[in-house]
Amino acid sequence: MKQWVMGLTAIALLAAAGTVSAVADEEKKDKKVEEGPAPKVEKDEAVVTPASWPCPPAYHAAPAYHHGCAPAPAVSYSYQCVTQYQTRARTVCEYVPVTTTVDVEEVTCVPVKKTVPVKETTWVEKKTPKKGTRTVWKNFEKKDKVKVGEYRWVEKTVDQTYCEVVPVQKKGTSKYTEYVPTKRVEKAHYIECVPQDRKEVRHYEYCEAFTRKEERTAACTVNTAVQVTRYAAQLVCPPNPCPPSPCGPAMPAPQPQVVCVPYTTTECVPQTVVQKYTVDVVDYRRVKQPYEVTIREYKQVKKSVDVEVCEYKPVEKTQDYTYTEYTQKMVTKKVPVKSCELVWIDKDVTVVECRPVQENYDYEECTLVPNEVTKQVEVTEYTYQRRTVKRPSTSWQMQTRTICETVPVQVLVPVPTPCPAPAPAFYSAPSHHHHGGAVVPGPTCY
């Protein structure tokens, strides 16, 4: 049963692969897809190996019980995942600015000036003298007898009971604790720092001045006497080459000539000479000088001393003492007392009485009288003018456009894989006790 299921699964996979490849070929023919680079086999390819699913089972008829060979090996297919690049169309929505001309109503406010007569009313105050009567309250003085209360001091003798505190002397005994000092000697340890001196040799450096010879060179100019040849101009009279002839005419005398005559003289010529000379130079050198230092060190020495310690011990003692106790006692005594009492006396008193009195008075009545005046006033009125003007208006509208893009697609490609030939099998003859032909399964590829 298991082999049947696996065989049916393999057949279904083969049919699906054929359908997919056929559909892909039709799409390529219809749409003329622009393919990308050559498909490459991915590393993680999905390969269905022969070990995963068996070859189609071979069945033999019932009479084939004689000796025979196994059928020819069947061809199996494995699938590889191949990436192909196909062109796909995609619709994209985007907002595009669209500029249109719109009629806009423009309102303009224009001022218009004009003169208008305006009535101006002024209220003028008018005073009218009048007389009237009014009631006035006035104060009038009169004398009258009135009882007046006065407070006076009166002396009386009164019985006064009060509480008096009487002291009473009593004796008592009390116990107390007295601390008595007791001295004892104990040893106390302390650390004493004892000084010890030791000597140590140290060195210090100082700069010592000394004189040394140093050879230096200097360029100087020296005048040297040198023999120099100079030329001087000299007037020379040449001799007459021919003597005078007694027979003939006289020959002219030769004229003098200027001749450069060399002569030797001594002149001073400056020359630069390098000379060496010695200079005394003061230099400094570092010299180490030893010196002794006394260093004091302190060592800790543990010592003990007898110390007198004072301790206080408690001692119980008894003491007699006298104390005063105060008791309260009620006492009644007669005491002179001054009291302030109210006394009524009849006295003549000047009383002020307020009475109403009628009197006449003069007053002014103020009234407001209207006074109308007409004036010419300049008034500015504003009129509105409407006109239609064309203005550019930009709005955003959504538009759709189709773009083509290359998309990688995973495709399963069937690859034939032959199964190895099965080993020969021998089957026994069917039993005659069974009804019908028995079906014997063929070899299975692994």
What are the φ/ψ torsions at residue 120 (nearest 5 degrees)? Answer: -115, 120
For residue 244, what pLDDT is reported? 58
pLDDT bin (cut points 50, 70, 90) of residue 418 is low
For residue 132, what pLDDT is reported? 87
Q: How far apart are CA 231 and CA 260, in angstroms?
A: 6
Q: Pick the range with the lowest mean pLDDT from 10-14, 72-76, 339-343, 351-355.
A: 72-76
Q: How far apart are CA 274 and CA 219, in angstroms?
A: 4
Please check the confidence at residue 242 and state whether its pLDDT lies above 50.
Answer: yes
Q: How far apart are CA 57 and CA 442, in angstroms?
A: 6
In terms of pLDDT, which residue wins out, 123 or 242? Answer: 123
Please report, for the chain, the start and end positions of each structural domain, with discontinuous segments joined by +. 2-74+419-441, 174-239+254-315
Per the prediction, the chain carries an average pLDDT of: 76
Q: How far apart are CA 354 and CA 281, in angstroms?
A: 134
For residue 30, what pLDDT is reported? 47
Distances (CA, A) of 220 to 268, 271, 272: 15, 8, 6
Q: How far apart are CA 140 and CA 149, in angstroms?
A: 25
SS3 52: coil
Write out pLDDT tens, residues 279-328: 888 888 888 889 899 988 888 889 888 888 888 889 888 888 888 888 88
In what helix (H) or strand (E) does residue 6 lie, and over which residues does it extend?
A: helix 2-31
Q: Pick the range with the lowest mean pLDDT from 161-175, 245-259, 328-342, 379-393.
A: 245-259
Q: Quick one: average pLDDT of 110-114?
A: 88
Q: Quick one: average pLDDT of 400-418?
A: 83
Q: Quick one: average pLDDT of 173-200?
A: 88
Percent of the chain whose predicted confidence (pLDDT) is above 90: 0
Closest CA to 149 of 341, 352, 348, 339: 341
Q: How far apart are CA 117 and CA 201, in angstroms?
A: 129
Please check the confidence at residue 67 and state whether its pLDDT lies above 70.
Answer: no
- Beta-carbon contacts of 164 under 8 Å, excluding residues fewer than 6 positions away, are 328, 329, 330, 331
For residue 250, what pLDDT is reported? 60
Distances (CA, A) of 90 to 37, 155, 188, 400: 21, 131, 108, 10
Please check the confidence at residue 243 and state whether its pLDDT lies above 80.
Answer: no
Write out pLDDT tens, residues 76-87: 777 788 888 888
Q: Pick the range with the lowest mean pLDDT from 23-32, 126-135, 390-399.
A: 23-32
- The answer, as to whether pTM is greater than 0.75, is no
Other CB atoms within 10 Å distance of the CB of residue 71:
13
In terms of pLDDT, which residue wins out, 309 or 30? Answer: 309
Residue 139 tokens, joined: 């104060």
pLDDT bin (cut points 50, 70, 90) of residue 60 is very low
For residue 425, what pLDDT is reported? 47
Q: Quick one: average pLDDT of 201-223?
A: 87
Report how far Cα 440 is from the mean position of its chain's Cα atoms.
Answer: 86
Write out pLDDT tens, residues 343-397: 888 888 888 888 898 888 888 888 888 888 888 888 888 888 888 888 898 888 8
Radius of gyration of the chain (CA): 79
Residues found in the chain:
446
